[in-house]
Amino acid sequence: MHVVHVTLRGRVQGVGYRAWCAREASARGLLGWVRNRRSGAVEAVIAGGKAEVLAMVTALRAGPEGARVDDLLMHEASETALASGGTRFFEVLETL
């Protein structure tokens, strides 16, 4: 299983980004979670096959209509990054 941790900045809150992310990830058969950060960023952990995860990261750069991603920081993670949620499906978590 390939796991990445992603932080996105730009106009990514108030545009349905988390719900869009969860739908996209679920449609791709991915596990993980997404949440808003009080800083205005969106944070996500995405897990699955490497090709599917990388395709999802590409989709995250565009986001839903109305979003603008100015910065995307991604790093490899371990399956322990799923400890907050998303071990059986893709979840939207509370703001942190």
Active site residue 28: no
Q: Which residues of 24-56 are buried (b: 16+ CB within 10 A; e: fewer)?
A: bbeebebbbbbbbeeeebbbbbbbbeeebbeeb
Active site residue 38: no
Residue of 36, 38, 61, 68 marked active site: 36
Residue of 9, 11, 18, 61 marked active site: 18
Catalytic machinery residues? 18, 36
